[in-house]
Amino acid sequence: MSDDVDRAVTADGVADARMATLPKVELHVHLEGTISARTAADLAIARGDDPADVLVLDTERTDGPNYPHPFRDFLHFVDTFLASSAQVRGPADLRTITAAFAAGQVEQGVRWSETTFTAVTMEQRGWTPAAMWTALIDGLATQPGTHVGFILDTPRDLGPEVARRSVALASDALAAGLPVVALGLTGIEGSVPAQEFTLLRDAADELGIGLVVHAGETGSAQDVMDALDVLGSDRIGHGIAAAADPALLARIAEDGTVLEVCPSSNVTLGIVASLDVHPIRALRDAGVALTVNSDDPPFFATTLTAELHHAVRLLDLDEARLAALQRRAIDASFAPAALRAEVHAAIDAWLRAG
């Protein structure tokens, strides 16, 4: 964890012990983005590779393998991310990283997570869909204390044909009993126009699941508008570019569009200069329904708990407002109704215990 994260974690108004027991909800976290540098190195070593040859690591660190921090730019992050996820070479590895992810969510008191998984990329490595679904289901089964819904995404730079394959995979996964809650559109903004991906909205409706689009992260307010108007995205992944456009801000506040804000991700990728100038305050002041998320936590030297501490500090939240932030997240989720009720009840109990 970086010095910046350490400082912020202790400099806010909700005690660590209370934060630890808060029932949490996370809507924006990538499964392949939860692979720690240690896990990636161990997977490499297990097959006889030198981690320094196959991973992008911070060579200055002496306390074990660690990703660079901060990244030089978005592509430096993408290279680091892809080198790490390339270590997941078979279903046994996928099960390992899924179980590790779920254990980390349990440790933080996360009751419900919506986790993006790029099944098309794994399939391109020659895996059968059935083997993937079994690995994910078995990995989750090791941690019954948390619940996960998967978002099967298409990196937009791969184009609409790959999106069509993602839809087929989502349909297959649902039939196999994997809890898929939405389709996703991720990847490099501006690479392929939103209009090319309207098939995703139709397919989501047909499958009875949601659609969540990353927009306005490295892109513009126009990308956010396209995600809403062209694609009918149910929420917006990031969306911070909306802060630069008062008319769009007013509109998404009015519509109650939920943004999945990931503060440390934006800072580590150099999209925002620091947490202190992050537009999260401007979004909140405009009345936007925001949630707080970790995105790719070990790559950004963070956790969901650390991101919630940042929110407490940056938005000056008390316990009631922090609880409301988590209620909003479960209300904006695709979780089953019974689980949503359970999370609300757990938050009620947490507030009473304060």
Residue nearest to Zn ion (CB): 295
CB nearer to Zn ion: give 32 or 295: 295
CB nearer to Zn ion: give 243 or 323: 243
CB nearer to Zn ion: give 139 or 237: 237
Task: Please state the φ and ψ torsions of residue 58, each to the nearest 5 degrees.
Answer: -80, 105
Residue 306 has which token pair? 């650390």
Q: How far is the CB of 295 from Zn ion (least distance, A)?
A: 5
Closest CA to 170 of 199, 192, 139, 141: 199
| The residue type at 327 | R
Active site residue 32: no
CB nearer to Zn ion: give 26 or 295: 295
| 8 A C-beta contact, residue 297 and residue 268 | no
Q: How far apart are the first and last CA of the chain?
A: 28
162: Cβ contacts below 8 Å, ≥ 6 apart: 120, 154, 155
Q: What is the DSSP string of 107-125?
A: HTTEEEEEEEE-HHHHHHT
Cβ–Cβ contacts within 10 Å for residue 125, how many? 11
Q: Give residue for tokens 């990847």.
A: 187
User: Beta-strand (E) ranges in the chain?
Assistant: 24-30, 110-117, 147-155, 180-186, 210-215, 235-238, 258-261, 289-292
What is the DSSP code (8-state) at residue 219? S
Closest CA to 281 of 293, 271, 270, 290: 290
Residue 329 has which token pair? 């997240």
Q: How far is the CB of 345 from Zn ion (least distance, A)?
A: 29
CB nearer to Zn ion: give 41 or 272: 272
Q: How far is the CB of 173 from Zn ion (least distance, A)?
A: 20
113 beta partners: 26, 148
Q: Compute the radius of gyration of the chain from its Cα atoms.
A: 19
Q: How far is the CB of 237 from Zn ion (least distance, A)?
A: 5
Q: How far is the CB of 114 from Zn ion (least distance, A)?
A: 11
CB nearer to Zn ion: give 93 or 295: 295
Residues in region 7-66 near Zn ion by CB under 5 A: none
CB nearer to Zn ion: give 143 or 186: 186
Catalytic residue among 114, 123, 189, 217: 217
Write each residue from 277 to 316 as x if it is in contact with Zn ion (CB under 5 A), else as -, in one continuous string: ------------------x---------------------
Q: How far is the CB of 336 from Zn ion (least distance, A)?
A: 23
Q: CA 44, 49, 50, 54 torsion: positive or negative?
A: negative
Q: Work out whether strand 24-30 and strand 235-238 pair parallel, antiparallel, or are unpaired.
A: unpaired
CA angle 152, 153, 158 (to 5 degrees): 140
Q: How far is the CB of 131 from Zn ion (least distance, A)?
A: 25
Q: CA 340, 342, 345, 350 torsion: positive or negative?
A: negative
The set of catalytic residues is 217
Binding site for Zn ion (CB under 5 A): 295
